[in-house]
Amino acid sequence: MQIFNHFGTYLLFLKRMISRPEKLSVYWERTMLEMKNIGVGSLAIVAIIAVFQGAVTTLQIAYQLVSPLVANPVIGSIVSDSSMLELAPTITCLVLAGKVGSHIASEIGTMKVSEQIDALEIMGINSRAFVASPKIIAGVVMFPCLIIISIFLSNVGGIFAGYASGILTPDEFIQGARESFLPFNLAFSLIKAFVYAFIITSVSSYHGYKTEGGALEVGSSSTKAVVYSAVLILFSDYLLTQLLL
């Protein structure tokens, strides 16, 4: 029953968040700042994950497809499709659930326990909208950008690993990737990124906002935000794949 209670309060949190901004320029400024924090701030970790993900996938595919009957470009096509359909959006977003989600929950949680949220409410500001909406908007805009970068760097990692290990040439990799490319796969990847971004930012904001107590509870909210986001990402991954592919 607890899960339904959580879901209900989460929906109420989202509903109460929707209101006319008190001052659009302040919200715009905060959204831009969050885009920098969430997007630019996550670039390094996304790049590292993507390069190694592409490199390791290339080596493993090559290991499993050792056969004179399989042409080398097939490795490129499998790596690029896997990156686009699953690895870049899902694995990257699971990592971002840890980085971005815990940051959001602890930031809002600290604001809650130090009465900063109360201060906003007393000033007549919709505190839910003020703290959460810039983060959610920034997330849904920046995550798809990060995923595009991740897909590109996964392929770069694959090309590098294939070339460095002598399994396939960069031309063979690119040939395979181009032959199997379907625009819908990219769209599917971006849809996933959009959905995951909303899950991570809204669930983490919700957990941060309902923090009560002190430092211990802020830590607990942060952990819950990451765990719930990760589980919901995996669940929605299955659902989206079933519905759209």
User: Are 154 and 219 contacting, i.e. CB atoms less than 8 angstroms apart?
Assistant: no
- Give the shortest CB-136-to-other proteins separation in angstroms: 19
Of 7-15, 70-78, 110-118, 194-202, which segment contacts other proteins by CB under 8 A?
Answer: 110-118
If one asks whether residue 166 binds other proteins (CB under 8 A), the answer comes out as no
User: Smaller CB distance to other proteins: residue 33 or 164?
Assistant: 33
Backbone angles phi, psi at 72, to 5 degrees: -55, -40
Which residue in the set 122, 182, 231, 234 belongs to the binding site for other proteins (CB under 8 A)? 122
Of the candidates 240, 226, 236, the one whose C-alpha atom is nearest the C-alpha of residue 95 is 226
- The Cα angle at residue 21 between residues 132 and 10, in degrees rounded to 5: 35
Which residue in the set 118, 231, 234, 244 belongs to the binding site for other proteins (CB under 8 A)? 118
If one asks whether residue 116 binds other proteins (CB under 8 A), the answer comes out as yes
User: Smaller CB distance to other proteins: residue 23 or 68?
Assistant: 23
User: Smaller CB distance to other proteins: residue 26 or 239?
Assistant: 26
Q: Which two tokens stand for residue 69?
A: 């009957």
Strands (E) across 175-245 are located at none
Distance CA 142, CA 33 (A): 12
* DSSP 8-state assignment for residue 22: S
- Give the shortest CB-111-to-other proteins separation in angstroms: 8
Interface positions with other proteins (CB under 8 A): 22-23, 25-26, 110, 114-116, 118-119, 121-125
